[in-house]
Structure 1
Amino acid sequence: MSFNPTSDLSGKNILITGASKGIGAQCALTFAELNTNLILVARESRELDTIEGKIKAMGQRVKKVTCDITDKKSFDEKIASINEVDILINNAGTNAPGPLLNASEYDFDRVMNINVRAAFFVSQSIVKKMIQQNISGSIINISSQMGHVGAANRTIYCASKHAIEGLTKAMAVELANYGIRVNSVAPTFVETPMTKPFLRDKKFRDEVIKKIPLGKIANPSDIMGAIIFLSSDAAKMITGSCIKVDGGWTAV
C-alpha cells in the first residue's frame, strides 16, 4: 500500500471556539484557505464579524455563533440547527496570572470554567452530533506547555491545562470505538491579545525567550501546522497524544 500523506480537508465542517482573536482567528483563516466550512464561536460579536467577513471574501462558507460557551444551555441552543461537525477545535481560553497566595475564588472559577468546563461540555455536545451522524471526527484541544510543566504565578492556568491533557487522554480512550480521535496541541507563549499585556514587559519577555531554545516567541501561524496535521487523515492513527509547539521549552 502506497503512502499518501494527505492533509486534504476540503468540504469538512470545522467548529472553532474562541474564534474571534489570536490562535482561534488564525485557525479560522487557515482552515478557510483549505476549502472547509467554518462554524465560528465566540462571545465578542464585533471581532467575530471581522473574521467572518474575511472568510466570506475568500468565497468560503461560514456560520457565526455568538455565545458564552460556559453557558451549556445557551451553547446547545445556538448549535441546535448544526448537524454535522467533522473537526472540533477547543481553543477558547483565559489566564489569571499571580501568586498562589493571592489567588481568588473568582479567578479560579473563571479560568476553570472557560479552560476546562467549557471544553468538556462543548466536546460532549459535539461528540453527540458526531455519533448521531456516524462521523469519525477529530477533536483538538488547545492546551499549553504549562500543561506539562509548572511555573510560578501560573498555578490556576497550569492546573487548567494539566486538566486538559488528562481530559484529552480520557476522551481519546472512550471515543476510540466511534472512530473519533482526540489530541491536544501545546504551544509556548504566542503573540496574542491575551499574552500582549505580559509580553509588553521587556524583562518578562526576555526571561520567556531565554527559556525557549529556539529563542523566539511564537506567532499564531506557527501553531497551524500541528492543528492541520491532527485534523487530517495524515494523523488517522494518532489519538490521545499531544504535539508540543513550544520551541523546545519542555525539552530542557
Structure 2
Amino acid sequence: MSFEGRTAIVTGAGKGIGRRTAELLAERGARVVALSRSAEDLAALEQAVGARGIAVDLADAAATRAAAGEALPADLLVNCAGINILEPFLEMNDESFDRVQAVNVRAAAIVSQVFARDLVRRGQPGAIVNVSSISSFLGFRDHAAYCASKGAMDGLTRVMANELGPHGIRVNSVAPGITLTDLARVAWEAPEKGGPMLARTPVGRFAETADVAEVILFLLSDAAAMIAGTTLPIDGGFLAV
C-alpha cells in the first residue's frame, strides 16, 4: 500500500497504536500531521519520520477545532486518541465520565467534521478510520465511561459513513482487543491478569501495535474502496469465543 502524494492526520500519534500508524504511513509515502498532547512525543516522532506535530489537549473543544484546521489540507484521517479512567460504575464521577467522552468521542467528531468539510469544499475524496475497541461490544468491569465512549464512536462511524459516503469520503472503525503498547505490556503480560484473556484468544497471543496499524492502513487505502460504515475487530478471535 503506497500513500505517496497523500497527507494523513493522525490523532493520538504520540504513543501506542497512533504512533505506529503514523510511522507506517510515513514509511509508505504519506505526509503525516500528528496531533498529541505531548510536545515531547511529537518532537520524537518528527525526528523519527518527519511528521509535522501539533500539540493539543483534545479535551478542549475549541483547541481541538483550531488544531484540526491547522492540520489541513489532508486526504486521510485516523482518530486514534483515547483515554481511560477506571472506576466502578457505582463510584463513577461526572468529571471523569465527561473527560473520557470529550477525548474519545467528541474530539473525533470535531476533527472529522473539520476534515470532511474541507474535503467537500474542495470536491476531493478521502477516508477516515476511527479507533474503537472490543469494549464497544463487551461490558468490562470498571470501564463504564470507556465502554460508553467506544459504543458511541461506532455509532458515530455509521452516521458519518452514511452522510459522507455520497461525497466520496469513506468512514470505518477498527476495534482492537488487548494491544501491547508500552504501558499495556506491563499490565497484560503478567500471567495473573493476562492469562485468562489470553486463554480466550484463539490465535494465542495479544496484538502488537503494528497488527492494528496495518489494518488501519488497509482501510485508508484504495484496496478498501467498497468498505464503509463497518467496525472491524482486531482481536485474534476473542469475540468469537
Give the TM interval when normalised to the shorter protein.
over 0.9
Change over 3 Å in CA distance of 1:72–1:155 after alignment to 2: closer
Q: Which residue of 1 aligns with 2:23?
A: 29
TM-score by length of 1: 0.90
Over residues 127-164 of structure 1, what are the superposed CA-to-partner deviations in whole Å (9 max), with x where a residue is unaligned? 11111222211000000111122222222211111111
Over residues 64-84 of structure 1, what are the superposed CA-to-partner deviations in whole Å (9 max), with x where a residue is unaligned? 111112223223333444442
Distance in 1, Cα, partners of 2:156 & 2:68:
23
Q: Which residue of 2 aligns with 1:223?
A: 212
Structure 2's unaligned 5+ residue stretches are: none
Distance in 1, Cα, partners of 2:84 & 2:11:
16
State whether residues 59 and 99 of structure 2, in contact with CA within 8 Å, keep that contact through their aligned partners in structure 1. Answer: no
Distance in 2, Cα, partners of 1:228 & 1:80:
23
Distance in 1, Cα, partners of 2:205 & 2:87:
24
Aligned-pair distance for 1:34?
0.4
Larger helix fraction of residues: 2
Counterparts in 2 of 1:105-116, with a 5 A limit?
105-116=94-105
Q: Which residue of 2 aligns with 1:8?
A: 2
Distance in 2, Cα, partners of 1:37 & 1:164:
26
State whether residues 68 and 114 of structure 2, in contact with CA within 8 Å, keep that contact through their aligned partners in structure 1. Answer: no
Structure 1's unaligned 5+ residue stretches are: 1-6, 57-61
Distance in 2, Cα, partners of 1:156 & 1:201:
25
Distance in 2, Cα, partners of 1:227 & 1:108:
27
Say which of 137, 154, 158 aligns to 2:126: 137
Supply the RMSD in Å over aligned alpha carbons. Answer: 1.6
Counterparts in 2 of 1:48-63, with a 5 A limit?
48-56=42-50, 62-63=51-52
TM-score by length of 2: 0.94
Q: Which residue of 2 aligns with 1:170?
A: 159
Q: Name which of structure 1's ranges 218-227 and 98-107 shifts more when overlaid on structure 2.
A: 98-107
Change over 3 Å in CA distance of 1:214–1:113 after alignment to 2: same
Identity percentage over the alignment? 35
State whether residues 100 and 153 of structure 1, in contact with CA within 8 Å, keep that contact through their aligned partners in structure 2. Answer: yes
Aligned-pair distance for 1:106?
2.0
